[in-house]
Amino acid sequence: MQEIIAFIDLLKASPLFALSKAVLIFIIGFIVARLASKAVLKIAENKMTAHGKLFLKRSVFYGILALVTVSALDNIGLDLSILLGAAGIFTVALGFASQTSASNLISGLFLMIERPFSITDVIRVNDVTGEVISIDLLSVKLRTFDNLFVRIPNESMIKSAVTTLTKYPIRRADLIIGIAYKEDIEKVREILLDIASKNLICLEEPAPVFILTGFGSSSIDIQFSVWARRENFLKLKNSMYIEIKNAFDQQGIEIPFPHVSLYAGSATTPFPMSTKVGANESLPPESK
């Protein structure tokens, strides 16, 4: 019995025992951190947004994991004061070397506080449109509609105009239409309003809006705006254009296309033109 106790004491004094104990503490702590983060997430499931839940889950997980790591290092006899001093020096050096990352980190904190969008929202940043799949401290990750992964640094998000397309439950579809100058504008207005009233996707309130935007080079330009629920936006836009085209064809309303007229001068002062210049031909003196 004394031999067994002596063997255990010898094993405890071995560096391998301390290292094994530290590894075991880290593994157990990792499992506890995972379980605790999931438990906290379930408690706050109906009280926070997806953005807030993700931030809370990561904070709990990495907080517990940091404490477990410190405890594991202490068990192998590492002087934490030296480690903290080295970490401080390393942090200062890293701060000077990575000012861009620090800017992204601060911008990420502002995004989390302001919350202009959340996970699963569809946003447009400059010329990129996609669904938000992750909001991290350094960047925002998007999945575009052609299934591409886009990473946008948080600093760019703060400095750019960000449009959240799924913020409100309804959206307005602006239909740009051109009609010939000979057409009756009031008749066209009545046709468009009748199409909107019969479309089941188009909302009655807010009411459709008919706007004359100006006189174009080949047409009278009209903006006809209708409203739909956010999930029906594209469906409404497509169906309205198809119904307008069919109604205009039935009513004989002309949708003009651009016309270009070329004048080569008057009958008294003709302007010489050359339609083809070969290797041995030259342009008229007036065109040089």
CATH number, span 2-97:
1.10.287
Q: What's the number of CA atoms in the CB half-sphere (13 Å) around residue 149?
A: 4
The pLDDT of residue 274 is 47
Report field, pTM of the whole predicted structure over 0.75: no
> Which has more confidence, 128 or 37?
128
What's the chain's average pLDDT? 80
DSSP-derived letter for residue 271 is: P
Contacts of 154 (CB under 8 A, 6+ apart): 104, 105, 107, 108, 111, 137, 138, 139, 140
pLDDT digits (tens, 9 = 90+) for 189-211: 999 999 999 999 999 999 999 99
Q: Which residue's entry shows tokens 């890293």? A: 94
Q: What is the pLDDT of residue 35?
A: 85
The yes-or-no verdict on residue 286 having pLDDT over 70 is no
CATH number of 170-251: 3.30.70.100
Q: Per residue in 99-121, pLDDT tens?
A: 666 777 788 888 877 888 888 89
For the segment 203-234, what is each residue's pLDDT rounded down to a tens digit?
999 999 999 999 988 899 999 999 999 999 99
Residue ranges per domain, the chain? 2-97, 113-164, 170-251
Between 24 and 87, residue with greater pLDDT: 24
* pLDDT (0 to 100) of residue 82: 60
Cα–Cα distance, 160 to 125 (Å, whole number): 7
pLDDT tops 60 at residue 146: yes
User: Are 250 and 191 a contacting pair, CB within 8 Å?
Assistant: no
Tell me, what's the pLDDT at 278?
A: 43
* CATH tag for 113-164 (out of 3.40.50.300, 3.30.110.70, 2.30.30.60, 3.30.70.1560): 2.30.30.60
Contacts of 88 (CB under 8 A, 6+ apart): none
- pLDDT band per the 50, 70, 90 thresholds, residue 37: confident
